[in-house]
Amino acid sequence: MVGAAALPAAAAGPQPGRTHRAEVYISGVQHAWQGRDARSNRSLNEQWVDITNNTRRAMNLDSWTLSDRDGHTYTFRHVLLAGRATVRVHTGVGRDTRTDLYQDRRTRVWDVNTDTATLRDARGRLVSVFAWGSGHRAVDTDRRHAAGWHHTGLRHHGVVQHLHHTPDHAGGHRH
């Protein structure tokens, strides 16, 4: 049985009488590779994580991190995510755009069977967790649309503004 759970950090502590929705959170994950060659750059770029800004104001993601259960970490560099927008962070190599960022990796990050995507802010505080696989219980089974793809119902419509362009990879870097 495969399950998915998207949990904003604020969801851990209930606040009586108040509904809280995270400002920035992991809104979707495509962790299964597509096609025959799981190592091709095209296949790697079909592995992605969507990060959504639920507020009306732009959010500075500079020095925020996105990591997997094994500690593979992508650090956002000079990224401003517009209000009510989503950015897709791909695993493979590519050129960062207003809607898509690339980790520039040559191997898969997200485990197909079970893994956890963790988003932390610039101070290292937990912002959002998205987990899938046999060790995780689905929070909302309607969110699981197909094997290897979990989404919270939002569409990919991000607007990313790079705060400073540098000659190298402006969007972020990997560890």
Q: Is the dihedral of CA 29, 35, 39, 43 positive or negative?
A: negative
Q: How many distinct structural domains can be found in the chain?
A: 1
Domain that holds residue 38: 4-174
At residue 82, the 3 state secondary structure works out as coil
Q: Give the integer Cα–Cα distance in Å for 169 and 157.
A: 22
Mean pLDDT of 90-118: 95
Has residue 114 got a pLDDT over 60?
yes
- Pull the structure tokens for residue 136: 């995780």
**CATH code where residue 103 lies:** 2.60.40.1260
Q: Give the integer Cα–Cα distance in Å for 167 and 92.
A: 19
Phi, psi of 11 (to 5 degrees): -70, -15
Three state DSSP letters for 98-143: CCEEECCCCCCCCCCCCEEEEEECCCCCEEEEEEECCCCCCCCHHH
pLDDT the model gives residue 55: 96
Greater model confidence, 161 or 116? 116
**Predicted confidence band at 22 (pLDDT cuts at 50, 70, 90)?**
confident
Mean pLDDT of 147-162: 44
At residue 58, the 3 state secondary structure works out as coil
pLDDT single digits (tens) 38-67: 678 998 999 999 999 999 999 999 999 999
* Percentage of the chain lying above the pLDDT 90 cut: 54
User: For the stretch 5-19, what's the b/e string if a residue is b when 16 or more beta carbons lie within 10 angstroms of its beta carbon?
Assistant: bbbbbbeeeeeeeee
- Pull the structure tokens for residue 85: 């927008």
User: Is the pTM of the predicted complex or chain greater than 0.85?
Assistant: no
pLDDT the model gives residue 39: 75
